[in-house]
Amino acid sequence: MTGKIPNGPASKETSIVHFETKAIHAGRGVDPATGAISIPLHTSTTFERSADGSFPSGFEYTRDANPTRNAFEAAMAALEGGQEAIAFASGMAAIAAIFEAHPSRGRVILPNDMYFGIRSLIDETDVGSRFEFAPVDMRNLEDVRSAVKARPTGLVWIETPSNPMIRLVDIAAVCQIAHEAGALAVVDNTWATPVLQRPLELGADAVMHSATKYIGGHSDMMAGVVVVPSFSALERPLRMIQKHKGSVAAPFDCWLALRGLQTLPVRMRAHCDGALKVANALSALPRVEKVLFPGLASDPGHDLAKRQMTGFGAMLSFIVAGGADAAMAMAGRLKLVVRATSLGGTHSLIEHRASVEGPKSMAPGGLLRMSVGLEHVQDIIDDLMQALAD
């Protein structure tokens, strides 16, 4: 990373042990110029040279490096236990950069249930023709093993919990299989956040986030970030894609992400508490065929979630009896929970995935996906109850 972060002494950061404290302090410090405790938002695109032509601050041009973006990157690296983070304009920009950056540029193994944007990236841009993609059910480790053995594989993509079926994938086991085959393993950690799950500690070669979701936390910014450990084969190519292809995270979005990080641990705990209560309430209703949520003891991902995560997350899906029409009608009766895509903000959001994804969707017709927000949980439950009553 070029350019220094305008903050207090690095020694203060290295002495920080606990995650909650890192979320507030890592990558930041009191501004030495002004004493401001809130990190300054540096919107300047360019930085002054000295008379001798050097750049005394280390900063030159914001696409290459920006103080606010550097601080966000340093904070993310600290929270995921990585060495470097590279911030992009969106989660999708980060994903596209990873596909392009993986060293062998060979086959990519993907989960068969994953963020739909990746499917669109493959189907509707040149990415689909430049790489070979093979989807597998990553809950089945034998399937992963035969997929990586079938053809030389460069990258194994992991998403857990997955979208929209809320499936759990054993990160450590899949990383090991990938490594035995000489492939890199990358985890999309958007839904769990580093509060609940830290994939680098489980062997992942990189962690990716849509910071648009829980990290920003208020549905008002867009950014993506990739965190890599030391000596990562991905680090330089990702940095060069960021810098030269230019889909960099904007300073203001980085500033909002840094603000979001400060409350991420407490927000995640509140999101998780609410989601478990909502899942239990939905499970008791006859008009709900099934609730997909790893916090339920009956969920196939429950034991793995207990091992791999420090909380069950706040994304859940449920299947309304009567299929797509009944699910749409139920969502149409909601008064508090907002019908909108995306997730991870303060507002509870609900979405009928099959109609959002269109004809290629593999989501069951009756499935509604919900991001449980930070409203009082009884208000959320009451709204769902009234919508499912008639």
Ligand X SMILES: *Cc1c(COP(=O)(O)O)cnc(C)c1O
> Pairing mode, if any, of strands 224-228 and 206-210?
antiparallel
Residue from 153, 193, 210, 219 that binds ligand X (CB under 6 A)?
210
Which parts of 156-250 fold into alpha helices (H)? 171-180, 193-196, 235-240
Q: Which is nearer to ligand X, 27 or 161 (CB)?
A: 161
Least distance CB 53 / ligand X (angstroms): 38
Say whether 325 is catalytic. no
Is 188 a residue that touches ligand X (CB under 6 A)?
yes
Cα distance between residue 113 and residue 125, in whole Å:
20
Is 170 a residue that touches ligand X (CB under 6 A)?
no
Least distance CB 225 / ligand X (angstroms): 10
Contact (CB, 8 A) for 215 and 260: yes
Residue ranges with strand state E in 89-237: 107-111, 133-136, 153-159, 184-188, 206-210, 224-228
Cα distance between residue 74 and residue 68, in whole Å:
10
Say whether 122 sits in a helix, a strand or coil.
helix
Cα distance between residue 208 and residue 315, in whole Å:
18
As beta bridge partners, residue 338 has 349
Q: Which is nearer to ligand X, 213 or 239 (CB)?
A: 213
Q: Which is nearer to ligand X, 47 or 99 (CB)?
A: 99
> Pairing mode, if any, of strands 184-188 and 153-159?
parallel
Neighbours of 386 (CB within 10 A): 13
Residue 280, classified by CB atoms within 10 Å of its CB into exposed (0-12), middle (13-18) or buried (19+), is middle
Q: For residue 231, what are its two tokens?
A: 């000596």
Is 59 a residue that touches ligand X (CB under 6 A)?
no
Least distance CB 174 / ligand X (angstroms): 16
Say whether 188 is catalytic. yes
Residue from 40, 58, 106, 117 that binds ligand X (CB under 6 A)?
117
Largest CA distance in the chain: 76
Q: Which is nearer to ligand X, 190 or 232 (CB)?
A: 190
Nearest to ligand X by Cβ — which residue?
91
Contact set for ligand X, span 327-356 (CB under 6 A):
none
Least distance CB 322 / ligand X (angstroms): 27
Contact set for ligand X, span 121-160 (CB under 6 A):
159
Q: Which is nearer to ligand X, 197 or 212 (CB)?
A: 212
Contact set for ligand X, span 213-242 (CB under 6 A):
213, 222, 224
Say whether 382 is catalytic. no
Residue from 29, 91, 135, 345 that binds ligand X (CB under 6 A)?
91
Say whether 115 is catalytic. yes
In the numeric block, the tokens 């919990």 are attached to: 161
Name the one range near ligand X by CB under 6 A: 5-13, 86-94, 198-206, 373-381. 86-94
Tell me: cis bond preceding 103? Omega within 30 of 0 counts: no
Active-site entry in 170, 188, 253, 299:
188
Catalytic site positions: 63, 115, 188, 213
Binding positions for ligand X, rule: CB under 6 A? 90-92, 115, 117, 159, 163, 188, 190-191, 210, 212-213, 222, 224
